[in-house]
Amino acid sequence: TTPKFEGFTEMADERSFQAEATRTAKRWLTRAQQVWEEQGVPMLSKMQKNPNSKQYTGIVAFTTFIVWYFFAHDILYVVSLLAEMLRTFGIVLLVLRVVKKTQSVQGLSLKTQQLYAVVFLTRLMFKIAYEQDYIYALIEVAAFSLTAYLVYLMRVEYAASFSAESDTFKDIWILGPCAVLGLVLHPNVTSSYFINVLWAFSTYLEAVALLPQLFVFHSASRTVDNMTSLWIVSLFL
């Protein structure tokens, strides 16, 4: 009879642990929502009206605090997650710049946005298939959705303001070499050859996806506005 009682005890302990973990997660989410409503929303609203470096620094500091508060036990995870969040925040700024500020996509590269959409989609597949980290996956979903929305704006809603004559960089010269490198040079981080290639391809592609945008800046010889500058800075953080 003793093994049965031990089994019931283990099940009770496991249920108690799960219940406590659920309560802790709810407290964290409630606290995060409260902090976001009190600090994040007013800061983002102010930045939308008058974006400048001080407000951007405030957003970075606030995001750093939130990430550190929840994940201080793993410094590498903090750095990686913070970079992902700031990059996604940069895409939010670019969407606001197009929709709220200029109602124009002039000066932006459609090819760069399409390449980043591929980056985020392939990385999302890797995160789900291998890491099963749903925080990362959620951020990748947000980044992909926002970038896909930018592609829609450039192709459909604000197509009249898109300067196709400036966006002349051949993206096949980016996709082709990245695909070949991914097939040949990839780490064995999983037991799946396809997932390993997918991870390598997305990493190589992200490193050079900004090239068409840089060519647009060079050919158009335009002054880059604040929000576009902050988007680029966010990509390199």
- Over the stretch 157-190, which tens digit does the pLDDT of each residue have? 999 989 888 898 888 999 999 999 999 998 887 8
pLDDT for residue 4 is more than 60: no
Reported as a pLDDT band with limits 50, 70 and 90, residue 42 is: low
**Residue 81 is which amino acid?**
L
The mean per-residue pLDDT over the stretch 58-65 comes to 61
pLDDT score of 157 = 92
Q: For position 53, what pLDDT does the model report?
A: 52
Alpha helices in the chain (DSSP H): 2-35, 41-49, 53-71, 75-96, 110-126, 134-152, 172-184, 193-208, 211-220, 226-236
Residue position matching structure tokens 């102010």: 46
Residue closest to 75 by CA, chosen among 66, 87, 67? 67
The tokens for 3 are 């093994």
Average pLDDT over residues 123-127: 86
CA dihedral 136, 142, 145, 147 (to 10 degrees): -90
- Checking if the pLDDT of 7 tops 60, the result is no
pLDDT at 190: 81
- Mean pLDDT comparison of 52-56, 138-142, 227-231, highest-scoring range: 138-142
Q: What is the pLDDT of residue 129?
A: 78
Lowest mean pLDDT among 34-43, 64-73, 201-210: 34-43
User: Encoding tokens for residue 203?
Assistant: 């990493």
- The residue-averaged pLDDT of 18-40 equals 59
Q: What is the mean pLDDT of the chain?
A: 77
Residue 97 gets which letter from DSSP? Answer: I
pLDDT bucket at 19, cuts 50 / 70 / 90:
low
